[in-house]
Structure 1
């Protein structure tokens, strides 16, 4: 399999942060987004940003900006679909997605997802971490997605499917275990941003 393309998911509304683009919030000497880019870039071939609205606000990143093709902020799966369509035009087999508000995700995200999907005709895997109550916690914005299933995903979204795991489970999606419970800490509130600053 060729090295996957990467897609940073930044298409949400960030309501708990008061709206706007969480990825552009300052963190350390850069932004949440620059932290995500630094971790994802070495792991993928090419990558793009999934975001809605005026793409000019991300011009200084120098990345292709791809919008959801499904109207109404349909959630992460709409961003995955946008990424799959973009990657298909470039001849890629798969994409790996990462959330724009999760600055410390593992530097071995892609290798572990690829390992988990070995032998699958349509490689599909989500990241999971240990969870004391549930056994494992899935992180549905961090996954490996096959271009071949994009039309199925489009049909599912148009029929009203919004939950990531509802769709991945239908296709025998696997999981890649990351042992650090805090590996996918994400910034949803101002308190989370302060905690992220302390973690640097």
Structure 2
């Protein structure tokens, strides 16, 4: 299996966070630390290089010692714009993306997605989760992609494409279903952030 040294990690922190009141979500405190620090801590053992995709507060993000890159597409074009920025800077064969607002994502995310990519010869593999009712939910921003998909993504964006699943459909892609739904809990609102913090404090 390909060593993790060949995977660049991309933390998506470039959104507008409208449901958070427009504040920079990556810098919001969670369990006493900014969300970006949780993402870096969980992603670092799974990759060698980390890129932070941010469209504001670059001076704050650069203090973490990783390259900070902005979207090349204007108007906060969503996670695909972050993917495009990451692929442009990526020097390894693979790029693994995670959002900044899911502070307990799996520590074996890289390993599982890469195993699936190698076994299916996919160009892109994303995570999925199962909820308590047995329904499967896609988690598309947790995504491992080959650097070679860069041209496909650029063409999709240039044509006005923004929906992440539409782009996935155009590629040889696959998914890995993770049983722990809570691992992908994200924090789109202050209430969700507080609720997740309470759950984690209660379990410790």
TM-score class, shorter-chain normalisation, is over 0.9
Q: For 1:190 and 1:54, how far apart are their aligned partners in 2?
A: 20
Structure 1 runs, 4 residues or longer, greater than 6 Å off? none
Q: For 2:59 and 2:141, how far apart are their aligned partners in 1?
A: 24
Determine if the alignment matches structure 1 residue 147 to structure 2 residue 147.
yes
In 2 relative to 1, CA 158–133 (structure 1 residues): closer, same or farther, beyond 3 Å? farther
Determine if the alignment matches structure 1 residue 38 to structure 2 residue 41.
yes
Q: For 2:45 and 2:123, how far apart are their aligned partners in 1?
A: 20
* 1:177 Cα deviation from its structure 2 partner: 1.0
Query: Could you tell me the TM-score, scaled by structure 1's length?
Result: 0.92
Q: 2:8 corresponds to which residue?
A: 5
Determine if the alignment matches structure 1 residue 171 to structure 2 residue 171.
yes
Determine if the alignment matches structure 1 residue 57 to structure 2 residue 60.
yes
Alignment of 1:117-196 (within 5 A): 117-121=117-121, 123-131=123-131, 135-196=135-196
**Where does structure 1 lack aligned partners over 5 or more consecutive residues?**
none
Deviations 1:49-106 (A, max 9, x none): 001134113232121101111122111011011111110xx2x101000000000100
Determine if the alignment matches structure 1 residue 24 to structure 2 residue 19.
no
- Decide whether the 8 Å contact of 1:27 with 1:196 is kept in 2: no
Q: For 2:132 and 2:163, how far apart are their aligned partners in 1?
A: 23
Pick the structure with more helix per residue. Answer: 2
- Decide whether the 8 Å contact of 2:126 with 2:174 is kept in 1: yes
Q: Say which SS state the counterpart of residue 183 (structure 2) adopts.
A: coil
Q: For 1:94 and 1:144, how far apart are their aligned partners in 2?
A: 7
Deviations 1:137-189 (A, max 9, x none): 11111000111110110010010111111111211210011101221000111
* 1:120 Cα deviation from its structure 2 partner: 5.0
Q: CA RMSD in A?
A: 1.6
Deviations 1:1-48 (A, max 9, x none): 453110000111001111121111111131211111110000001011
- Decide whether the 8 Å contact of 2:122 with 2:173 is kept in 1: no
* 1:196 Cα deviation from its structure 2 partner: 2.2
Q: For 1:161 and 1:45, how far apart are their aligned partners in 2?
A: 31
In 2 relative to 1, CA 132–193 (structure 1 residues): closer, same or farther, beyond 3 Å? closer
- Decide whether the 8 Å contact of 1:122 with 1:149 is kept in 2: no
